[in-house]
Structure 1
């Protein structure tokens, strides 16, 4: 509307057309799915995404700091000919702390806010994830000894992968290094497992069962706390053995959770367009399998990212491919994790921004406002190094308009169509140095 001023001064004119800007949302917010009810407090409901901001939140959620050892003591009591008893014992340690340790590795490797979801039903899992708008990464946590349900749960998650959903799956290969059956361009797979110390404070004495103890008076003891006043010397000896066993305890943890932490740290410090690779994994003592260069070459051709223990580098993820990055794939558009995730991020950001233009007049001013907002967003990505090209027009394009992206029929049907192209920067996966000996020097 034109303002007709009647005297000198400053006049404010408010426009009725909404402004458009594309804001950058969080790119790495994982949900960790687990079906291991014995590893979680039974009060945790199924099919509900529960937010965790740090490792302490997980400990509080379980009701106590995760105890990593379940201890029992089996004692053989043998009467001596001269009176009294001789005692031999066995410390029975049942310890499956993989999920606890995996989540701890996530936070140790730079992970931020996340969600944990106790698996119930297929429909319940899918609905719970969709209700939380900021989730971008899917991770299934499982015991290394538990593989019979992996295919089932990965198939559930597979239904979430695809254009428009903006989810990316971080998966583990099985013990033989085989990937799960998922939508390849939206999945990264890691192998082998990570060896981590499970050393922890041992359970209280009253939670340690004693089996088979009988003293010279015929008294039996069933709890470790009751053994101390009855036979303090034997109690002290067994106590030291339990502490020693727990201190030496090491387990193999599936690597997906630690990698989710590296994704978060990489996105936060360098941007989603950078490879979550070649960064030391904190908390890992070793790899479960030492993979040779030749074996990694084969696995790399299969789209599997190998975690290596390299001299001078430590334990690092030595690959950044999706499952679509096989040597047999003729289309290499989605070979690399960071390219797929950059497009996921851009699609989500632009889609959210375009929602502000719903029901606005479908005509040139609206199209120009939309084009300008998307171009500003892409220009920022290019300036940060996310897009290839020496100048903006080489890095991206935005097209919108009548007879450009829309026909009269499209406009009449209420369709506003924008086409966006991006030239994503790709990694230097193979660095080849050519040396030539000069005979003339």
Structure 2
């Protein structure tokens, strides 16, 4: 207050209300991966590469980062139907997608190998699945752009790890998702996921990683090996409570029949020949009024890969009308295109649950939107090892239930042996409480380390926790049962702490834990009347 040296009227304002704790956002996902472009309108085209950028809708994503990649397939005839037509899975290389089917007595193999343009880029589809499942405002980090087969870069694990590091200066993100990681070789995928956990639990300690299982579209009895054991062995023991993993992958409805075109089959000339064989055009006479249009359409298809100018959508419709083989190829290609790892959808479900019920609610027993079925059917007995293995690395199951759809049937972190941080909602609730109180108390740095400051801080944090308890975020019949806040000399500090300028606050909270196991006991009683 100014010294009163001159006669007059002096106005003194006093603060009527104390400081408050502002709750931080809990479900702001950050996606790292490859996109078609990365530019703002009017700029030189590379302005957003390797730059975290906030968006709020799929429209904004496509405005800044473009559309989906064009997938590329190869169709071959399997000469020996009794042999296994699927190529051996090499965990040291990108994982291919293969479909084998029979048509008119012949066995065909449709392959979509990772590592080429359009084969491993999952960012666009992941964003669609995120918003379809309730996703909201999020961040996108484009680590590179894709193009045609000649110019597109291969998915690089080092680039994805560097993209994660770009989030160090961003305060808002609370979830980290890397959809393209599963398109890497197994070891590189594990390195990216370890970097995600290090970023969330070691460097920032204020965000949560959602991981996919490499090869999660296969069962645990697959000849290539147990994908769950491989995932657990490769991941390592660090910061497991800051991440969760989900298995299996899911069959979605993201891509519709209109999204597939015949020129997506790389060997269009061979495709045309195989369709011609199935239609038996060689045995039909020249000038046949039905065969000649078919021959002409197939000749145009054969030239489509060489001359993109010959591509026409009406030819695709003609193929569907005249060839059941082509319809089968399209269906198998769409099945591969719609096979998605679940991390992006889970980020959307986290967001939806946080907004509807609060971050303290377990993101489980909820249906996944846009999902037809899990890639692998899991029984209750098979889920036992996923939920509570000896290693402690719990994997949350995605299961299909009759009449209920596809449900997320688990809400555990990777640190399944920890009673403190076993549950996803416990870790994420604690992140919210810690960050909210941390940002609020920052205003008191360099304030006097006295009783007045201690009392203000205690009241501010207690008032905030009371609000959380009233909204159902903490256990206990009364606020005293739900939390306690201690600060002061003789409680949390010693005289030496005061001399060193250290102010210590101890907060105890009773967090909500999910009821995973419900037991109902029935017994008979004697007749009373």
TM-score w.r.t. length of structure 1: 0.81
When structure 1 is superposed on structure 2, of 97-106 and 165-174 the one drifting more is 97-106
Given that 1:67 and 1:201 are in contact with CA atoms closer than 8 Å, whether structure 2 keeps it comes out as no
Given that 1:98 and 1:254 are in contact with CA atoms closer than 8 Å, whether structure 2 keeps it comes out as no
Given that 1:20 and 1:356 are in contact with CA atoms closer than 8 Å, whether structure 2 keeps it comes out as no
d(CA) in 2 for partners of 1:308, 1:233: 40
Equivalent in the alignment of 2:197: 158
Q: Is the aligned partner of 1:315 residue 2:406?
A: yes
Equivalent in the alignment of 1:103: 127
d(CA) in 1 for partners of 2:511, 2:212: 26
d(CA) in 2 for partners of 1:50, 1:409: 46
d(CA) in 2 for partners of 1:261, 1:122: 21
d(CA) in 1 for partners of 2:307, 2:265: 6
C-alpha distance 342-226 of structure 1, shift in aligned 2 (>3 A): closer
What does 1:55-204 align with in structure 2 at a 5 Å threshold?
55-63=58-66, 65-66=67-68, 69-70=71-72, 94=112, 96=119, 98-119=122-143, 121=159, 124-142=162-180, 144-148=182-186, 149-162=188-201, 165-175=205-215, 176-177=227-228, 178-179=231-232, 180-181=235-236, 182-197=238-253, 198-199=255-256, 201-202=258-259
Given that 1:371 and 1:400 are in contact with CA atoms closer than 8 Å, whether structure 2 keeps it comes out as yes
Task: Note the C-alpha offset of 1:67.
Answer: 5.3
d(CA) in 1 for partners of 2:347, 2:13: 46
Q: Is the aligned partner of 1:41 residue 2:37?
A: yes
What are the Cα deviations for residues 189-240 of structure 1, in whole angstroms up to 9, with x where unaligned? 1100011233264478999875488999x99943365377xxx989933787
Task: Note the C-alpha offset of 1:20.
Answer: 1.8
Given that 1:405 and 1:417 are in contact with CA atoms closer than 8 Å, whether structure 2 keeps it comes out as yes
Task: Note the C-alpha offset of 1:384.
Answer: 1.0
Q: Is the aligned partner of 1:250 residue 2:335?
A: yes
Task: Note the C-alpha offset of 1:184.
Answer: 1.4
d(CA) in 1 for partners of 2:69, 2:247: 27
Q: Is the aligned partner of 1:53 residue 2:56?
A: yes
Given that 1:73 and 1:211 are in contact with CA atoms closer than 8 Å, whether structure 2 keeps it comes out as no
C-alpha distance 362-143 of structure 1, shift in aligned 2 (>3 A): closer
Given that 2:247 and 2:398 are in contact with CA atoms closer than 8 Å, whether structure 1 keeps it comes out as yes
C-alpha distance 208-192 of structure 1, shift in aligned 2 (>3 A): closer
Query: SS of the counterpart of 1:434?
Result: coil
d(CA) in 2 for partners of 1:369, 1:234: 71
What are the Cα deviations for residues 282-331 of structure 1, in whole angstroms up to 9, with x where unaligned? 01111000011101112111311100001121111101111112xxx3x4
Aligned with residue 402 of structure 1, among 481, 486, 489 = 489
Query: SS of the counterpart of 1:159?
Result: helix
Equivalent in the alignment of 2:310: 226
When structure 1 is superposed on structure 2, of 93-102 and 22-31 the one drifting more is 93-102
What are the Cα deviations for residues 391-432 of structure 1, in whole angstroms up to 9, with x where unaligned? 111110000111111112111211111111100011111011
TM-score w.r.t. length of structure 2: 0.69
Task: Note the C-alpha offset of 1:159.
Answer: 2.2
Given that 1:99 and 1:143 are in contact with CA atoms closer than 8 Å, whether structure 2 keeps it comes out as no
What stretches of structure 2 of length at least 5 have no aligned partner? 39-44, 77-107, 113-117, 144-157, 216-226, 274-294
What stretches of structure 1 of length at least 5 have no aligned partner? 75-89
Equivalent in the alignment of 1:360: 447
Given that 2:32 and 2:142 are in contact with CA atoms closer than 8 Å, whether structure 1 keeps it comes out as yes
d(CA) in 1 for partners of 2:318, 2:476: 70
What are the Cα deviations for residues 63-99 of structure 1, in whole angstroms up to 9, with x where unaligned? 3x4255447999xxxxxxxxxxxxxxx9988564643
Task: Note the C-alpha offset of 1:388.
Answer: 0.8
Query: SS of the counterpart of 1:26?
Result: coil
When structure 1 is superposed on structure 2, of 100-109 and 284-293 the one drifting more is 100-109
C-alpha distance 426-12 of structure 1, shift in aligned 2 (>3 A): farther
Task: Note the C-alpha offset of 1:437.
Answer: 2.1
Task: Note the C-alpha offset of 1:387.
Answer: 0.8
Task: Note the C-alpha offset of 1:2.
Answer: 12
C-alpha distance 143-20 of structure 1, shift in aligned 2 (>3 A): closer
Q: Is the aligned partner of 1:305 residue 2:396?
A: yes
C-alpha distance 208-190 of structure 1, shift in aligned 2 (>3 A): closer
Given that 1:195 and 1:253 are in contact with CA atoms closer than 8 Å, whether structure 2 keeps it comes out as yes
C-alpha distance 140-234 of structure 1, shift in aligned 2 (>3 A): closer
Equivalent in the alignment of 1:81: none
